[in-house]
Structure 1
Amino acid sequence: MKGAEVKPVSGWLTREPEDRHLSSPPVALVVCQVRHETEYAASDASRALRIKGALDWPTELTENLVQGVNVAVGQFTGFSASQTPAMRTWQLKSQDGTWTVSLQPDHFSLETTRYGGWSQFRDRLTQLAKAVGEHVAPALEHRVGLRYVNQISHPDVLSPVDWRNFISEELFQERLYADLGDSFRAAMQVVEAIPSAHHSLVIRHGLQLGQGSELTYVLDNDSARQGSRQFDVESIMNTVDQLHLDSLRAFEMGTTETLRDHFA
């Protein structure tokens, strides 16, 4: 029996994004995580210090201990502390707390709540990946994920249906929001796509009431590549560049040019 024919992806998933500079981007959080095989060398304090020294921005090093738990499932469910020694993990935080590096035996990550553009984020991620490759030396990369959480607000939005001018018709559910009226509190939906082999893109989007009854539109784009292969920094960064393009495409597909002009 022949396998199902895989048709080439078309439309916004392959469109070349504008990648416009937004002077006031609505990005609340950006996270990139790279999962690899378990390497307990990442728990070593001296290696964490060497990784800290390889970064060109100042950070504070903090230690965390993670204790495993045994779960017994049967007539009665029981929990007990694992006999395995507690696992040491590390965090490197910038002095203002807006950048965080996480070092764990099976992954490392970089996240920021003060996104200054792709060039800065990519540069810091490259430094981190090189430092982990040198001082932890994992052999395999299992998964690379890149997530953009956009929390969008606009002064012209006074009711849920006002977002029709700023969120694309592909995503915006005008009839739903109009029917909810004053009873609206929050509504979220999930879209999942496969831009290319081994790549996935999950878009979580919808409205929520923020502080002071402000209507915020959340556009959460989570892209990833899965599948084990040799740990190679250049390959990882090429993957991250592709995930960044997928995230840009998702942002442009989900918003109107009017909204992007507002942030530019």
Structure 2
Amino acid sequence: MTERTKNMPFTKGNVDSFQLNNEALALVLCQLRWPSLANLQNDSQLEALLPALNDKMVSDGYLVYSKTKNINYTVTPEGITPSEDGTIHQWSTADGKWHISLSIQFLSLFSTQYSNYQELDSRLRAVVGIIDEIMKVPVVNRVGVRYVNRLTLPQDIARLASMIKPEVLGYGALELPYLQSSMNQASYQIDTDVLQVRSGLLGPNQSPDPSIEPVAGESWVLDIDASRITSQIMNIDSIMNIVSNLSDIDYDFFKSISTEEFVNRFSDEEGGLEH
């Protein structure tokens, strides 16, 4: 089989690839969304499929189940108003490394202890196969792949200026005292794909995502999220090709803004983790 060509829009292949340990990688998440479907108009229709879904999830090692309400927030002149918008069904592995969230219009697979892309590919293929077989999802209209990197050790945060290019550091690059928090945001359009990037300093007990446990001290976060709006007919290989391309974009951006010192600090000599 011919090795596929990697998508490298930022480095154009001029920066060597590298493998990192998972010390700085706090979250990896893939999400598929689909339009409103005639057979999945409300939670009760999804609830009717739960026995079959649960059997498949358990057989794939997702033994822990829970459900929660999806909360939307609306900004009005009176303030922020929360409202319930359906149920999210959740499964996770017993060790808590992998999690699935499922509603009538989206599927998310994420890990807070990511090991390698091959495992992500294998697990996502299996879960997409389940929703194809049981939920009869015929088309996907959005695919997203997100990597959240987080530095929490004071000595690493103190070395940011030598590990990350200064343009990404925002106010942090000024090296002024008393900075409590700072968040920068950028958006890139790569053909049909969009890359959203957030980076900055978070104060104590703050987290960039509800899935990530906050830490007692300050942290620095690089949140890289590539997505594609599409009308992809349900085909597992085609969807995984989109996922792979979006992951390439995330990784290539990361390569373009990190320095050799970052690579040396977090390199995986055993070659275990690929972004």
Provide the C-alpha distance between the structure 2 equivalents of 1:223 and 1:213, rounded to a whole number of angstroms.
Answer: 29
The one-letter amino acid paired with 2:188 is A
Provide the C-alpha distance between the structure 1 equivalents of 2:266 and 2:239, rounded to a whole number of angstroms.
Answer: 30
Q: Does residue 91 of structure 2 align to residue 92 of structure 1?
A: yes
SS in 2 for 1:147: strand
Provide the C-alpha distance between the structure 2 equivalents of 1:141 and 1:227, rounded to a whole number of angstroms.
Answer: 7
In structure 2, the CA distance between the partners of 1:171 and 1:63, relative to structure 1 (3 Å rule), is closer
Q: Does residue 185 of structure 2 align to residue 190 of structure 1?
A: yes
In structure 2, the CA distance between the partners of 1:187 and 1:64, relative to structure 1 (3 Å rule), is closer
1:153-179, CA deviations, whole angstroms, 9 ceiling, x for partnerless residues? Answer: 4564464xx421011134234xx4365
Provide the C-alpha distance between the structure 2 equivalents of 1:263 and 1:102, rounded to a whole number of angstroms.
Answer: 30
In structure 2, the CA distance between the partners of 1:63 and 1:207, relative to structure 1 (3 Å rule), is closer
Q: CA deviation at 1:234?
A: 1.0
In structure 2, the CA distance between the partners of 1:241 and 1:208, relative to structure 1 (3 Å rule), is same
The one-letter amino acid paired with 2:187 is E
Please tell me whether the aligned partners of residues 12 and 253 of structure 1 are also in contact (alpha carbons under 8 angstroms): yes
Max radius of gyration: which structure? 1
1:167 corresponds to which residue?
164
The one-letter amino acid paired with 1:38 is S
Q: CA deviation at 1:210?
A: 4.0
Q: CA deviation at 1:182?
A: 2.3
Q: CA deviation at 1:257?
A: 1.4
2:196 corresponds to which residue?
202
Q: Which runs of 4+ in 1 moved over 6 A?
A: none
**How many residues of Structure 1 are paired with residues of Structure 2 in the alignment?**
240
Please tell me whether the aligned partners of residues 53 and 130 of structure 2 are also in contact (alpha carbons under 8 angstroms): no
The Cα RMSD (Å) is 3.3
Q: CA deviation at 1:214?
A: 4.8
The one-letter amino acid paired with 1:202 is Q
Identity across matched positions, percent: 22
Runs (5+) with no aligned partner, structure 2 = 1-6, 206-214, 268-275
Provide the C-alpha distance between the structure 2 equivalents of 1:67 and 1:259, rounded to a whole number of angstroms.
Answer: 37
The one-letter amino acid paired with 2:103 is Q
2:211 corresponds to which residue?
none
1:37 corresponds to which residue?
35
SS in 2 for 1:102: strand
Provide the C-alpha distance between the structure 1 equivalents of 2:137 and 2:257, rounded to a whole number of angstroms.
Answer: 37
Provide the C-alpha distance between the structure 2 equivalents of 1:137 and 1:193, rounded to a whole number of angstroms.
Answer: 33
Please tell me whether the aligned partners of residues 189 and 205 of structure 1 are also in contact (alpha carbons under 8 angstroms): yes
1:62 corresponds to which residue?
66
1:46 corresponds to which residue?
51
Q: Does residue 250 of structure 2 align to residue 242 of structure 1?
A: no
Provide the C-alpha distance between the structure 2 equivalents of 1:151 and 1:38, rounded to a whole number of angstroms.
Answer: 35
2:120 corresponds to which residue?
121
Provide the C-alpha distance between the structure 2 equivalents of 1:65 and 1:213, rounded to a whole number of angstroms.
Answer: 28
TM-score, with length taken from structure 2: 0.75
Please tell me whether the aligned partners of residues 22 and 114 of structure 2 are also in contact (alpha carbons under 8 angstroms): no
SS in 1 for 2:165: coil
The one-letter amino acid paired with 2:255 is E
TM-score, with length taken from structure 1: 0.78
1:197-232, CA deviations, whole angstroms, 9 ceiling, x for partnerless residues? Answer: x21001101123446885532110010010223121
